[in-house]
């Protein structure tokens, strides 16, 4: 864990510092009156006058104490605070999307596997391929056009309507829900295809196993064979996938958060990148990778809980 995390910080630091140009230049470009002295003062203020390895050491030492430095943006607020206020939005949006995604993809995959080569299976295969190929941002635009512009049923930007502070609690919640429908469906659709396909192939693998033949041979009804014997084993690898899907979800949040104007981490990152806000960008990269690490760890624990072979060390 710790070496992995150090590796993450090192790559983040190197990647960000490969690029030519310094953040100070951005501020100078906007203000032609800055003198050479003022420029040096700025560089000193941000610690940019020291050699790179010193800058890295200082940065990592601060990271260990959860100090991500101060944002370059006006106000110079601590990066941690800026990220903290954005994380809940992105995280809850992605968790809702993940639940919907798994809730839809798992039954689809299982059904396609049990009814292999039927019309349903073939139809699903076609749907899955199209799902792979459709760019999420295009899907977002189409849904926006259809439900937002043409039909006018759903709001297309932000999380709340104007004046939502004055709403009653139920009204406020319904308003939020309405705003969430489009972004959540787009986020969930992103990996729906891959997941249902994966579910189908693990289910097919399991059905071919000897213990399934045994279960059938001893005369169990098909229902019990599928749900009690096959399904449990087929679901195991999906737990791992849960952990692996974290970086994709976080990465995807840039796209739908900018399209739907949702104040989350993706939008913050995009803004930070555009303004060359180094501490902010590095902070989000580290936290994003850290979230993935946490996701993988959770998946490992979940796997151990679900699979007695691993729990008892016989895997």
> x/- binding map, residues 9-28, to other proteins, per CB under 8 A?
--xx--xx-xxxx-------
Angle of the 246-259 helix axis to the 79-114 helix axis, nearest 10: 110
How many binding residues for other proteins (CB under 8 A)? 48
Contacts of 175 (CB under 8 A, 6+ apart): 160, 161, 164, 167
* Pairwise CA distance, residues 191 & 207, whole Å: 24
Residues from 87 through 126 that contact other proteins (CB under 8 A): none
78: which strand partners? 70
Min dist. Cβ of residue 219 to other proteins (A): 27
Min dist. Cβ of residue 80 to other proteins (A): 18
151 is an interface residue for other proteins by CB under 8 A: no
What is the per-residue DSSP string for 171-231?
HHHHHHHHHHHHHHHHHHHHHHHHHHHHHHHHHHHHHTSHHHHHHHHTT--HHHIIIIIIH
Task: Please select the residue that binds other proteins; options are 103, 107, 123, 135, rule is CB under 8 A.
Answer: 135
| Residue 185 tokens, joined | 């469906």
3 is an interface residue for other proteins by CB under 8 A: yes
> x/- binding map, residues 260-299, to other proteins, per CB under 8 A?
---------xx--xx-x----x--xx--xx--xx--x---
247 is an interface residue for other proteins by CB under 8 A: yes
Which residue lies nearer to other proteins by CB, 7 or 88?
A: 7
Angle of the 119-133 helix axis to the 169-207 helix axis, nearest 10: 120
Residues from 70 through 89 that contact other proteins (CB under 8 A): none
Which residue lies nearer to other proteins by CB, 5 or 167?
A: 5
70: which strand partners? 78
255 is an interface residue for other proteins by CB under 8 A: yes
259 is an interface residue for other proteins by CB under 8 A: yes
Task: Please select the residue that binds other proteins; options are 141, 154, 235, 310, rule is CB under 8 A.
Answer: 141
Angle at 285 between CA 280 and CA 288, to 5 degrees: 120
Min dist. Cβ of residue 226 to other proteins (A): 22
Three-state SS for 128? helix
Could you tell me if 242 and 63 are in contact, meaning their C-beta atoms sit under 8 angstroms apart? no
Task: Please select the residue that binds other proteins; options are 39, 41, 258, 302, rule is CB under 8 A.
Answer: 258
Could you tell me if 184 and 96 are in contact, meaning their C-beta atoms sit under 8 angstroms apart? yes
4 is an interface residue for other proteins by CB under 8 A: yes
* Pairwise CA distance, residues 189 & 184, whole Å: 8
Neighbours of 301 (CB within 10 A): 12
57 is an interface residue for other proteins by CB under 8 A: no
Binding site for other proteins (CB under 8 A): 3-4, 7-8, 11-12, 15-16, 18-21, 129-130, 132-138, 141-142, 144-145, 149, 247-248, 250-252, 254-255, 258-259, 269-270, 273-274, 276, 281, 284-285, 288-289, 292-293, 296
């Amino acid at each position: 864990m710790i070496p992995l995390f150090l590796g993450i910080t090192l790559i983040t630091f190197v990647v960000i510092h490969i690029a030519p140009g310094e953040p100070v230049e951005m501020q100078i470009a906007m203000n032609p009156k800055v003198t050479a002295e003022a420029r040096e003062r700025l560089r000193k203020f941000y610690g940019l006058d020291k050699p790179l390895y010193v800058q890295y050491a200082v940065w990592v030492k601060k990271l260990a104490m959860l100090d991500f430095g101060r944002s370059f943006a006006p106000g110079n607020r601590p990066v941690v605070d800026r990220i903290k206020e954005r994380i809940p939005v992105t995280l809850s949006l992605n968790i809702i999307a993940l639940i919907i995604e798994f809730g839809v993809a798992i039954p689809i995959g299982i059904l396609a596997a049990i009814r292999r080569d039927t019309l349903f299976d073939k139809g699903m295969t076609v749907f899955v391929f199209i799902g792979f190929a459709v760019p999420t941002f295009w899907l977002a635009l189409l849904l926006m056009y259809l439900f937002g512009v043409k039909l006018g049923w759903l709001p297309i930007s932000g999380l709340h309507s104007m004046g939502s502070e004055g709403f009653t609690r139920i009204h406020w919640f319904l308003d939020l829900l309405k705003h969430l429908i489009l972004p959540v469906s787009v986020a969930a659709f992103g990996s729906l295809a891959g997941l249902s396909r994966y579910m189908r192939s693990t289910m097919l693998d399991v059905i071919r196993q000897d213990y399934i033949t045994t279960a059938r041979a001893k005369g169990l009804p098909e229902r019990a064979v599928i749900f009690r014997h096959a399904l449990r084993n087929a679901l195991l690898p999906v737990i791992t996938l849960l952990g692996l899907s974290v970086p994709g979800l976080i990465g995807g949040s840039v796209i739908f958060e900018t399209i739907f104007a949702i104040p989350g981490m993706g939008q913050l990152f995009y803004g930070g990148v555009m303004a060359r806000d180094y501490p902010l960008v590095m902070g989000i990269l580290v936290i994003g990778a850290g979230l993935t690490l946490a996701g993988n760890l959770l998946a490992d624990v979940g796997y151990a809980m679900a699979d007695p072979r691993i729990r008892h060390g016989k895997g």
